Structures are given as structure tokens and as C-alpha cells.
Homo-oligomer: A and B are copies of this chain.
Amino acid sequence: MLFRQLFEPDSSTYSYLVACPETGECAIIDPVLDTVERDLSVLQAHNLKLTYTIDTHIHADHLSGARRLKGLAGSKIAYPAIDELPCADIGLQEGEVFKIGNIELHPLFTPGHTDHHHAYLIHTPVHSMLFSGDALMIDGVGRTDFQSGDSETLYNSIQQKFFSLPDETLVYPCHDYENRHISSIAQEKERNKHIGGKSLEEFVKIMDNLDLPYPRKIDFAVPGNSECGQCPDNIPEKYQGPCARYDQG
């Protein structure tokens, strides 16, 4: 399996390219509109044609690259089935393995950051790789104070679906704001400042007191991502760059 971790600096988003060398099929998990051209270059450099984009949830901090990549590369758009997005070609749900060539992707229903959030798990011959989305990040968790978030639900998702995985499981989050790239389940159980070794009550209290600023892109990102990364009409001028670079598909 070919694997690349890709970064979009404005929203500090990690996208992940996974490709099956036997079939040439490949997917990008959580692509970002701003870096679609970079993603296409990476695909070209590896002589790959994008088969799927796969989102973990309806993001509030960036526009998904799913729609544009479909237009430019012909990829099919996969989202959690529970999102019921008319723009999605494929609905993913826990218990149903999704195949990218010979790679088996296991969706994990992990609500709490949003009520429909899914993480994805791939087992390799040595490691399990957890694409934890915005549920579990490195030394933190996704905020729960907007867009159907709920701290108790997130706590249970992480404890039950993530912290039950083997200690050596590789954790690849959707974001990091301090240039960290990777963690493991053991590391997050031991030292995650929000949830590592914390009770539900402690966690809820921590989340209630994060005092985070209003998400700067949420007002256009959520409606745009509800259409798989459509550039919405109300996008402020300063964020129009990636929307202006192509005609809308």
C-alpha cells in the first residue's frame, strides 16, 4: 500500500492518500479544496488516477476537495451514509468494509464532534492505521461546542471505539496545529490532555471550559460541505482563492 500524509496549512488539515499497488485504485481521505492542485500533482507523480474521496464528516473549518476532485479526476465521493448527502456517490457505515482495490477500510461510527462523524481504520501487516478525523487529535480532541457536537458522546466514541484498539495503532488525525504528524493509541491514552486518563465528568468539564473562538469558516464551510465542497455564494472575499481558481463543477 502506498501511503502519503499531505498537509493544507491554512486550516492545518491533514489529508491522506492510500493507494493499492495491485489494482492502482486509490483514495484521498479528507481532501481540502485549497490543495486540490497539489493533490493532483501527487497523484500524477505516482501515476495514480483517483478512485475515491472519503470524508470523515461535514467539516466546519475548511471546504472539502471532494466535489472538485470528482470534476477534475473523476473520483467518486464517499461520505458517512448517515449524512444522506445527495452529492455523495457512496455511503459508508460501520460494519460494512469499503474496499479501495485490495485495501479494506473499516468505518467506525464515532459521533461527538459532529453527530455523524466517522473514523476509518486500515489494518496493515504490521500496524493498524486509524484515521481519527476530528474525533481524536494529537494531545487533544475535536471541539464539541457547535454543529451537533456533544462532549459525552465524544467521550464514549473515543473510549469505546479508539481506546479499545491495540496500543501500537497509528493515529493519523485530520488536523494538527503544532506540526505534529502522528501518534499512537498508547500515547493518547497516557497523555492526551483532554481525555487521557480522564473520567467522563472531568472530560465534559474540560470541554465546557475550552473557551474557543468562533470557527472562522463555519458559516460557509458547513453549507458548502453539505454539497461535498461546493463553493457557496456567501464566501467572504478573503477565502475565495481556491473557489476562484476553477469554474464550479
Cβ of A73 under 8 Å from chain B = no
What's the number of copies of this chain in the assembled complex? Answer: 2
Binds B, one of A46-54, A142-150, A176-184, A237-245: A176-184
How close is A79's CB to chain B, nearest CB, in angstroms? 25
A4 contacts chain B at the CB level, 8 A cutoff: yes
- Contact in complex: A187, B181 (CB < 8 Å): yes
Tell me the complex Cα distance, A187–B182, Å.
8
CA of A129 to CA of B168, assembled, Å: 13
Name the contact of A3 in the complex, choosing from B126, B178, B186 (C-beta under 8 A).
B126
Complex Cα spacing A124 to B3, Å: 12
Contacts A126-B127, A180-B191 aside, 13 further interface pairs with beta carbons under 8 A come to A1-B125, A1-B126, A3-B127, A5-B167, A5-B184, A5-B186, A124-B125, A125-B126, A126-B129, A179-B191, A181-B187, A181-B190, A182-B183
Does A130 count as interface, using CB distance less than 8 angstroms? no
Nearest first, the 5 A-B pairs at minimum CB distance are A181-B187, A179-B191, A179-B190, A124-B126, A181-B184
In residues 179-227 of chain A, which contact B (Cβ within 8 Å)? 179-184, 186-187, 190-191
Separation in Å of the A182 CB from the closest CB of chain B?
5
For the complex, what is the distance from the CA of A129 to the CA of B179, rounded to whole Å? 20
Kindly state whether residue A170 has any CB partner on chain B within 8 Å.
yes
Contacts of A129 in B (CB 8 A): 126
Contacts of A179 in B (CB 8 A): 187, 190-191
Tell me, in angstroms, the Cα distance from A5 to B184 when the chains sit together: 11
What is the 8 Å Cβ interface bit string for chain A, positions 162-173, against chain B (1 contact, 0 not)? 000001101000
Q: What is the CA–CA distance of A37 and B13 in the complex, to the nearest angstrom?
A: 43
B-contacting residues, A62-87, CB 8 Å: none
Q: Is the CB of A168 within 8 A of B124?
A: no
Asked whether B168 lies within 8 Å of A3 as measured between CB atoms, the reply is yes
A239 to chain B, nearest CB (A): 25
